[in-house]
């Protein structure tokens, strides 16, 4: 026998043996991961069975207080081992949990799942999880918007090069560009909030949505079946049910939600890409921690790893919308079951990825580093060309001929461009204009004509108005949630 003791495997070692989704193991928040976890799912099933039994008793079915008390006492006492054994035996996940719940509530066994179908617990739980996932995501998105709005206000007047076709264009400001990002994020906030407001409950509908089984339970009393539906819906915290369903609620609901998540993914990808380009030009960088390593081979590098993560996960969110569209398109008649396996993947993953995208954007926006001197240097390289319009107008006001002036500026501009492109030197167009006797009438005005502040138009005031009239009202409903989120982050 070996004298070397056998090594004990830690939980981490055991977990390393099998694949785990990085969305949970590496990225997503504990809240979002728990929202789509088995404990949330199966305890919600039990609550749905309790709410159904409570409502049925209230409407006159022979269900005792003892049976309800027994169910209440076992809501969170999951026996997942027993449920797994039942599922292996019965090949049906819902019935496995019916039997596991009944084993813990023998007196209530006869009334658990009474008149219901699997979709009663499955679909209603999915809707609860969709609702709760949006309630987790929306404040995080609002927090990212709030952080970016502070950045926009701080840099409302900092002139920088604008870009069209990714080529230098007329000047804008750092704050104004941030407002372009904010406008898209506000659209996502509106769209996701609308999805949240539009969500209804499937409620108590039966096997094909006709409520036939419940009509039999209540001896053909349509009024009590309607009341049953409303009672259970209210207990679940929804204001309304879908009046008509098949066996399931329409998968159009899933596609609408995932399409809006995909829209947010596209926005996040665009913003993160813009910031990655700006980081490449050394104008703006994401926060970089003191001990952070940018590259294993190149110690000097400060790679935008958070923004790269945003782009990678945002692409996944965008791709998952196609799953929901395809699933909705093939739900034959009252439903087919090929939706189940796909939805187990696409819905949780879309939210898990969107959740970390929102959180990561918020942390980036909250610590963006701006380098005004680099921005100024880039302005200096391009501003002479952009100033030619102002110089041309000033010469005409001083009595010059427009066409003649245009030709002189064109020739000098080409000479300066050759200095930059062919010889790698600085743009010396202004020096050439200053040295030209032709421009003597406006030589003293050149510093004024080259002031970057005169090239940004109304950008600073647009920032002020946008933040006041659009951003602030959009964030107002999230004030309490943002305060709570900030307090939690501070504790962490």
Residues taking part in catalysis? 165, 295
Tokens of 383: 């501003």
At which residue do the structure tokens 């005169």 appear? 454
Tokens of 306: 């958070």
Q: Minimal CA–CA distance to 202: which of 152, 254, 165, 160? A: 254
Please give the Cα distance from 349 to 395 (Å, whole number): 62
Torsion of CA 168, 172, 177, 179, to 10 degrees: -160
Please give the Cα distance from 386 to 391 (Å, whole number): 10
Contact 17, 46 (CB under 8 A): no
Please give the Cα distance from 66 to 56 (Å, whole number): 14
- Sequence-distant (≥ 6) Cβ neighbours of residue 208 within 8 angstroms: 246, 247, 334
Please give the Cα distance from 226 to 448 (Å, whole number): 76
């Amino acid at each position: 026998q070996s004298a070397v003791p056998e090594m004990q495997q830690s939980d981490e070692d055991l977990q390393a043996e099998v694949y785990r989704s990085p969305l949970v193991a590496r990225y997503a928040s504990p809240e979002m991961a728990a929202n789509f976890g088995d404990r949330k799912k199966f305890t919600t099933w039990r609550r749905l069975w309790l709410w159904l039994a409570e409502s049925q008793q209230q409407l006159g079915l022979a269900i005792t207080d003892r049976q309800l008390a027994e169910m209440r006492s076992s809501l969170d006492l999951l026996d997942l081992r027993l449920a797994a054994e039942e599922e292996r035996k019965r090949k049906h996940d819902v019935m496995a949990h019916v039997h596991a719940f009944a084993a813990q509530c023998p007196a209530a066994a006869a009334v658990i799942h009474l008149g219901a179908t699997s979709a009663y617990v499955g679909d209603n739980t999915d809707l609860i999880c969709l609702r709760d996932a949006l309630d987790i995501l929306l404040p995080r998105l609002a927090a990212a918007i709030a952080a970016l709005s502070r950045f926009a206000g701080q840099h409302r007047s900092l002139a920088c090069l604008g870009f069209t076709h990714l080529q230098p264009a007329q000047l804008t400001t750092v704050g104004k560009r941030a407002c372009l990002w904010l406008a898209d994020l506000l659209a996502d906030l509106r769209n996701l909030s609308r999805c949240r407001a539009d969500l209804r409950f499937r409620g108590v509908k039966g096997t094909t949505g006709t409520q036939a089984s419940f009509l039999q339970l209540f001896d053909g009393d349509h009024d009590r079946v309607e009341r049953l539906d409303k009672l259970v819906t209210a207990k679940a915290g929804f204001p309304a049910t879908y009046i008509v369903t098949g066996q399931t609620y329409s998968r159009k609901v899933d596609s609408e939600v995932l399409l809006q998540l995909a829209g947010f993914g596209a926005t996040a990808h665009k913003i993160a890409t813009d910031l990655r380009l700006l980081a490449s030009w050394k104008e703006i960088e994401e926060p970089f921690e003191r001990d952070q390593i940018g590259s294993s081979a190149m110690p000097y590098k400060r790679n935008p790893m958070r923004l790269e993560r945003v782009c990678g996960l945002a692409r996944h969110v965008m791709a998952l919308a196609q799953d929901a569209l395809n699933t909705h398109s093939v739900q034959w008649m009252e439903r087919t079951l090929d939706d189940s396996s796909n939805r187990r993947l696409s819905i949780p993953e879309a939210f898990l990825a969107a959740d970390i995208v929102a959180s990561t954007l918020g942390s980036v926006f909250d610590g963006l580093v701006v380098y005004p001197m680099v921005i100024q240097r880039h302005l200096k390289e391009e501003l002479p060309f952009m100033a030619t319009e102002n110089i041309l107008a000033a010469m005409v006001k001083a009595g010059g001929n427009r066409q003649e002036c245009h030709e002189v500026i064109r020739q000098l501009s080409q000479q300066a461009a050759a200095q930059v492109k062919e010889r790698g030197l600085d743009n010396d167009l202004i020096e050439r204009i200053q040295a030209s006797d032709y421009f003597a009438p406006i030589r003293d005005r050149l510093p004024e004509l080259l002031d970057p502040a005169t090239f940004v138009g109304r950008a600073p005031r647009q920032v002020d108005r946008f933040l006041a009239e659009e951003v602030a009202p959009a964030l107002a409903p999230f004030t309490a949630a943002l305060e709570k989120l900030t307090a939690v982050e501070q504790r962490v």
